[in-house]
Structure 1
Amino acid sequence: MIRALLDPSEGEPVQIERAGGRSPVILVCEHASRTIPASLSNLGVKPDTLTSHAAWDIGALATAQKISQLLDAPLVHQRFSRLVYDCNRPPEAPDAIPEMSEIHAIPGNRNLSGEARQQRVAEIYEPFRQALAALVAARTGPSRQPVIVTIHSYTRVYFGAARHRAIGLLHDRDRRLADTMLQQAEEHGITNAMRNYPYGPDDGVTHTLRLHAVQNGLLNVMIEYCSDLIDTEKGQDEWAALTTRLLEAALERFDIHAAGSQQA
């Protein structure tokens, strides 16, 4: 039997902020942290890997927290790096526990036994999945339907190729909210948005949306910011405000007030 992945002193793998928020929006940040559990000895990676986009979505958590405050919306986020387990991937996905991330080798993820892989699922993915599922269930009722919004960032240059868009609005087979946001983006100050950019459903990036929103018929969208736009507090403030206004306007089309009543 292998020892526990997480020491009690490291805390829980998932955190919920503003759990009692009044907004119908539930914000999710699966790639919020670059922390590696002490038991994994930094997975044997080079120091620059742990500060790179390979380890986390740069600026995503801070931006999500600012949107959470503006909307008075709950926020669910992962407290350990996606290099340990990517909570936006199901256990059967090959890249749920990556051996490579772009140009970054992850030695501590190579040749894992079935038991070691299952431990990552049990201690990282399952608590996250269960916490989000429970929050969605608790906030769903006959006259109340939550809206799932996941917050991510992507690197400006990937495998040497530059990406020129500011923001991507992603969806799986339920495109209602993404469509409405794309239609309204320019009038709310977002002039460089694109559908399913820089990834799409075929890349396996809509797992959270599928599992917690699509199968429950809930409105949903995945937002991808170019990380160099939200890697400072000024950028985070700007994009949180832009995103909040766009979300509010888009959800009005569905007769949903995005902000909590204290913001009204």
Structure 2
Amino acid sequence: MTQSTYQLVASDFDLTLAGLPHSHISDRTKRALEGLRERGVPFAIASGRGPSGLFHHLERNSISPEGFYFCGYGGAEIIQAWDGTEIASNRLNGSAARKAFEVASDFPVEVLPHLGEFAYASNVGGLANRGQAWSDGLTLLDITPEGVEELRPSKILISGEPDVLERVATALGEELADSIEVTLSATTLLEVNAAGVNKGWALWALADHLGIDHTATVAFGDNFNDIPMLRAAGLGVAVGNAVPEAKLAADRVTFSCDDDGLAYVLEELFAL
């Protein structure tokens, strides 16, 4: 495809668009995003973070959300970033959410259901829970398994050691294989969504909403939960710091996040 035929760009947030630990977006990347905006090319942030957290981070980086979209919670919630208009929502089934919460809570992990501007936990004092809520500017509230069922969260985030998360994922698969989607978003983070919900589904749903052919999309990512999106896009691009599996799923590999790999490709594709 030539530069003029791509009509939608989507990117993961952490370690693809923004560097850690402070979620800083470089000046070069900011200029590339502004170039997309000036050309009228829709840009979506597809992240395990929720829309509230993504808006918080754009604001911290002094970036306007005008013309942007959020595919938050791993693709469960798609909104127009500039005014919050909902395009699609796929929250967990109540009974499945409760069961996933209970199964995960049997392991030495911290379990954090998300919805809107809130994060919920049975252990609000947990370091990982408090850190996740603080990072996204969320209010952290106590919750019971019954409360999780009533809440029907958009996503459940599970924090723990890699070997423990592997056992959690196996247990969740045995109990809820037909009701949930489980994926790693980092070596110490496991995400639970409704069955069939992932970033690839969200990319296609947003493209359909905008009347854009799926082959006219570009997606950037670095981790396991980005793989469905990299495969779904017309052009899937893994940053240089991506996990090997994401690089294999991508059509091309660019420089690392710290070396402005996303901006480099956008400059090339859209003559920025």
Fold in common (TM above 0.5) = no
Give the TM interval when normalised to the shorter protein: 0.3 to 0.5
Greater length-normalized contact order (CA 8 Å, ≥ 6 residues apart): 1
TM-score by length of 2: 0.33
In proportion to residue count, which structure has more strand? 2
TM-score by length of 1: 0.34
